Amino acid sequence: MAKIVGTTNSDNIVGSDENDRIWGLTGNDFIDGGRGSDILDGGAGDDVLTTTGGDASGFDELTGGAGDDRLVFNFVGGAARGGEGIDTLVADLSNQQDAVVFSAAQGHAYWADPAVSDNHLYFTDVERLNLQTGAGNDVIDASGFAFANIHAGAGNDKIVAGAGNDQISGGAGHDHIWGGGGADEIRGGSGNDIIDGGNGDDNISGDEGNDTLLGGRGNDILNGGDGDDTLNGGDGNDILYGGPGTDTLIGGAGNDTFISYNADSDIMIGGDGNDSFSAGVQDSYYAGYWFQMSGGAGDDTFSIYSDGNLGSIDGGEGTDTLSVNFDDVARGFTFDAASYTTIEKFNLDVRSATMGAQIFGGDGDDRITSSETFREGFSGNDTYDGRGGNDYIYGASGSDNLLGGDGDDELNGGEGSDRLLGGAGSDILTGGSGADTFIWDDESVQSGGLDRVTDFNVDGGDVLLFRGVDAITNFDSFVAASVDTSEGVFVSIDGSANGIIIENVTLAELSENDVTFA
């Protein structure tokens, strides 16, 4: 047996292949016992004591002494005494094919044949843990540590962490993991895992498999990964990612965020709080996917990227908003906000619909737009109807029908020869490029209000159409009701201030070709 005594400086000491006894004394020492059953004492200072353990045998005794020490066991058993300071136990048992049983409460771990003394690890006065295990079905209780970094390897493992900000990886297999308190980072690995983050702001990933993830208290991030997963955020403002597969996402209390962009039949339940839902359902029309979203109590926001199918959306209590981007819709489709009785506000954008679209808003203040850059076939002849509320409607390219409905609306036809009817209220009408038609009917003029046409182009083929308006039935009656103002031509429908302002034109510029009747 070799006996080695260090100095009062920071020493670097390597033992022999025999059973050594080494003292580091003071200083921040590095001591490697080498092979054999060694006794290492770091003394005062922040020391690193390590066992080589290349033959996976031997029983080493490591004492840190005063200071923040690291006691490292590589593939071997032994005893660790941390002493004063914040000490870390590092145990690499990744070579084990048998189950590792690790208990912080007992200060003891064992594996393989318990009758073999080398298959035991005892520890006391250590505050932090860094543990790797192999392919067995491990049972790990690290609840007594202030911090734990655990990589369990393959196998159906059971892992319990403590109150610190722990890092845990279950590896392959069907694992059960409890994070305890603290802001934990937990990965289930492949397999059907059950993970409970406990209290604290946890970040949990299920990875592959049909996983169950529980956030518990705190503002958690849950990612189901591949497979048919169940995610429950619990209390707090949580973020839930469904991932590929048919997932069930439950936010619980708090202002939660739901994200699902994999065209699967997910179920998302918001619960209490002002929740935010983001979902993509591309190819859902052809693949038969159907998702369900329920906001529950609170002012919820639903943002959907869709090919035309929206699934089931229930805003629940509160003032809820539905925003939809219709993109790459390879068929004609109709969206009617009246089908969504628990949604109070709609933001609807048609980016690409090759066979045309009909969009009908709700009774609230809606925003309906089209940002298409390419259409073909029968595309572009879309209908956008704001219905009630103060709506904004933008037609973009194509020959669109824009209907403001009730409320003070703003309509913009964009490119193409569009038809714009503001409806009741004081509306702002902009035709955009193309030969546009601005329409008033008896219902719209009877409601009162002052409409404005912002870009009437006498030379561009624009037309004013009065349809069933008793006070204006021909060009003469139109002229009689009109007067030039500093803003443009004012047309009084009923002899009052209600009517139409055609901006930046004069009455002399208008002819019978510009005003039509039906």
What region, left, alpha or beta, does residue 153 occupy, with left being phi > 0 and alpha being psi -120 to 50 degrees? left
Higher pLDDT, 261 or 475: 475
Number of helical (H) and strand (E) elements in the chain, helices listed first: 3, 51
Question: How does DSSP assign 169-189, residue by residue?
Answer: E--SS--EEE--SS--EEE--
User: Residue 439 falls within a domain, yes or no?
Assistant: no
Could you give the percent of the chain with pLDDT greater than 90?
75
3-class DSSP state of 8: coil
Q: CB–CB of 218/201 below 8 Å?
A: yes
Is a pLDDT exceeding 80 seen at residue 332?
A: no
What region, left, alpha or beta, does residue 401 occupy, with left being phi > 0 and alpha being psi -120 to 50 degrees? beta
The closest alpha carbon to 148, from 162, 137, 135, belongs to 162
Q: What pLDDT band is residue 378 in, cutting at 50, 70 and 90? A: very low
Supply the range of the domain harboring residue 76: 1-136
Q: What tens digit of pLDDT does each residue of 428-481 get?
A: 999 999 999 999 998 888 888 999 999 999 999 999 999 999 999 999 999 999
What was the pLDDT predicted at 301?
97
Q: What tens digit of pLDDT does each residue of 272-296 get?
A: 999 999 988 655 544 555 789 999 9
Q: Rounded to an integer, what distance in angstroms lies between the CA atom of residue 44 and that of residue 66? A: 5
User: Residue 131 falls within a domain, yes or no?
Assistant: yes
Is a pLDDT exceeding 80 seen at residue 393?
A: yes
User: Residue 105 falls within a domain, yes or no?
Assistant: yes
What was the pLDDT predicted at 379?
42
Q: What tens digit of pLDDT does each residue of 113-136 get?
A: 999 989 999 999 999 999 999 999
User: Residue 83 falls within a domain, yes or no?
Assistant: yes
User: Residue 216 falls within a domain, yes or no?
Assistant: no
User: Residue 42 falls within a domain, yes or no?
Assistant: yes
The closest alpha carbon to 188, from 214, 170, 200, 202, belongs to 170
- Count up the domains in the chain and report the number: 1
Q: CB–CB of 182/204 below 8 Å?
A: no
Q: Rounded to an integer, what distance in angstroms lies between the CA atom of residue 93 and that of residue 152? A: 9
Q: What tens digit of pLDDT does each residue of 137-168 get?
A: 999 999 999 999 999 999 999 999 999 999 99
Q: CB–CB of 54/34 below 8 Å?
A: no
The closest alpha carbon to 69, from 89, 38, 46, belongs to 46
Mean of pLDDT over the chain = 91
Q: CB–CB of 95/135 below 8 Å?
A: no
Is a pLDDT exceeding 60 seen at residue 360?
A: yes
Burial of 133 (0-12, 13-18, 19+ CB in 10 A): buried
